[in-house]
Amino acid sequence: MGRGGGTTETATAVDPTALMRDFLRETGGCAVLDGGLATELEANGADLNDPLWSAKCLINSPHLIRKVHLDYLEAGANIIITASYQATIQGFESKGFSTEESENLLRKSVEIALEAREIFQQTRVSSKQHPVLVAASIGSYGAYLADGSEYSGDYGESVTLETLKDFHRRRVQVLAEAGPDILAFETTPNKLEAQAYAEILEEGDVKIPAWFSFNSKDGVNVVSGDSLLDCASVADACSQVVAVGINCTPPRFIHGLILSLKKVTEKPILIYPNSGERYDPDKKEWVASTGVPDGDFVSYVSVWRQAGAQLIGGCCRTTPNTIQAISRSLNK
Ligand SMILES: C[S+](C)CC[C@H](N)C(=O)O
Ligand SMILES: N[C@@H](CCS)C(=O)O
Ligand SMILES: [Zn+2]
């Protein structure tokens, strides 16, 4: 797998927890995740005002995706998350791609991240060990809807557990087989979707581990209003899930949410908050006024670490500067 220090490949095949356990041992107990991918693509000139959002760059500008992955690796990230958050077979098909072409675009998201890791490891001058995992992003059904409903988690009554399983199953399979180390089910807005993910993993066709990460806008529940404790319990009960956490949530809520997670799981906790700004789904823009500057964001890091988070990074509107500051604050 070329993670740059791992000895765990054989163990991982039989024990899903081995990958995360050995990775965290190699990183000294705490690892650095990357920052916002889509928003950093925008900072590099990409126009994401499209139903595919960041997945549009898989079609038009894969070089930008590779650049942003490399920028995060240079900033100190131990985990890079692929550009597949809003990449779905259904979304690509509605743009006129065939099923085969759509599946190839999913694979491409993983290939770009693997390539970035390869470049980083070959050109790295420091001899200090720096393990790197590639996590394949799986955004929610709400992300595919492209109306910001991953921040409401309200899909209406016609969307059932089976709808969500049927929506995600093939996508998850294709991404898992493209060679990432782990699947990142992220910005998960409700319990039903977490159950769908767990049931897909339990069907047995997906051979790699996963993390489940939820988002909150009140610091107590996930965005739909479902109990975070219930959602995290679904993750905890699924043996393929090797870390549970919170992403794309304002930094000020994170400490309390870590304490809640610890009530229901002993699995490693990951947190990668956004900048604290609000997303306007109609304009596909961030409302800037309430944002937390990089410096303030990073001042929370030691508190999150002390509270028990073992994987710390950033989500939307965080940058390589944020990640470098997180990395320094964790003495990397
Ligand atoms: C995490 S949100 C900012 C992703 C974008 C959203 N699904 C949209 O398409 O507007
Ligand atoms: N991994 C995605 C998450 C969006 S909430 C990104 O950083 O663009
Ligand atoms: Zn985000």
Tell me: the pLDDT tens digits for 23-62? 999 999 999 999 999 999 999 999 999 999 999 999 999 9
Cα of 10 vs centre of ligand 2, distance in Å, is 30
Which residue, among 224, 156, 151, 162, has the nearest Cα to 187 in the 3D structure?
151
Cα of 208 vs centre of ligand 3, distance in Å, is 23
Number of domains in the chain: 1
DSSP 55: G
Residue 210 lies inside a defined structural domain of this protein: yes
- How many CA atoms lie less than 13 Å away from 296 in the CB half-sphere? 10
Residue 79 lies inside a defined structural domain of this protein: yes
Instruction: Give me the pLDDT at residue 14, please.
Output: 64
Is ipTM beyond 0.85?
yes
What mean pLDDT value characterizes the chain?
A: 93
Query: Is residue 238 marked as binding?
Result: no
pLDDT for 270-319, tens place per residue? Answer: 999 999 888 999 999 998 755 555 457 888 999 999 999 999 999 999 99
Residue 268 lies inside a defined structural domain of this protein: yes
pLDDT for 57-111, tens place per residue? Answer: 999 999 999 999 999 999 999 999 999 999 999 999 999 999 999 999 999 999 9
DSSP string computed for 256-309: HHHHHHHHH--SPEEEE---S-EEETTTTEEEGGGPPPHHHHHHTHHHHHHHTE
Cα of 213 vs centre of ligand 3, distance in Å, is 11
Domain enclosing residue 73, as ranges: 9-329
Q: How confident is the model at residue 11 (pLDDT cuts 50, 70, 90)?
A: very low
Residue 324 lies inside a defined structural domain of this protein: yes
**133 forms bridges with which residues in the sheet?**
79
Residue 1 lies inside a defined structural domain of this protein: no
| 247: enclosing H helix or E strand | strand 241-247
In Å, how far are 70, 166, 185, 230, 293 from 172, measured between CA atoms?
Answer: 25, 11, 10, 23, 35
First to last CA, the chain: 23
Instruction: Give me the pLDDT at residue 12, please.
Output: 45
Ligand 1 near 275 CB (within 6 A): no
pTM (predicted TM-score): 0.95
Ligand 1 near 144 CB (within 6 A): no
CATH number of residue 239's parent domain: 3.20.20.330
Residue 107 lies inside a defined structural domain of this protein: yes
Residue 2 lies inside a defined structural domain of this protein: no
Residue 104 lies inside a defined structural domain of this protein: yes
| 187: enclosing H helix or E strand | strand 182-188
In Å, how far are 197, 221, 229 from 260, measured between CA atoms?
Answer: 21, 10, 7
